[in-house]
Amino acid sequence: MSIALFDLDNTLIGGDSDYLWGCFLAERGIVDGAYYEQENQRFYDQYKAGVLDIHEFLRFQLRPLAEHDMETLLDLRRHYIKEKIKPILLPKARQLIQEHRLLGRTPVIITATNRFITGPIAELYGIDQLLATEPEIVAERYTGSIRDVPCFQEGKIHKLRNWLEFNDRTLEDSWFYSDSHNDLPLLNAVTHPIAVDPDEILRQHAETHGWPIISLRD
């Protein structure tokens, strides 16, 4: 059985879940609004430019998880999903996932965004295979650190290789959908790379290499 891999942010959803989580925390007064919004935007701009220091970003982004107990975090997340994520779910993305299922392919979301944020989003799309950056938990509290490598750029390939080995799968007849040039390492590794509403760098690369370019936006 082949696999259909999907990036999440700006691919299956019409926005960036990491960035929106930061906006949500600032709006709720959970973090210092002016500072957090400034840093959130700085990291997002670096990501789009392909120069993000993922470890610096994760120290910033996971700090609020370490500062609150699990019950508080889960309550915040429920409101975040309702307010920020459900409005940007894409019907065309849901349809595309279903098309791959009907063809016997296993859908897998593979994202740099951490599992605390992305787990419920994968569930909304009915996808139970999620490869994401894994925040560390000790004694039922987040530590602010991560387990293993970040699921970002070449780290996505590392995570995927482990998943393939564990599940006795290969990349034969594999598909990957992404909007970002940060995913070029994995796009170059699959059988069928697809650019979805791509950034300019990925669009140029896709056009040069004859990759399909599609949109999942209305």
Catalytic machinery residues: 7, 9
CA dist 22 and 57 (Å) reads 12
CA dist 76 and 24 (Å) reads 9
Question: Which residue pairs from 93-98 have beta carbons closer than 8 angstroms and sit at least 24 positions apart in sequence?
Answer: 93/6, 93/11, 93/12, 93/13, 93/125, 93/216, 94/125, 96/177, 96/216, 97/4, 97/6, 97/12, 97/125, 97/126, 97/127
Residue 80's nearest CA partner among 142, 165, 13, 18 is 18
CA dist 184 and 175 (Å) reads 13
Residue type, 142: Y
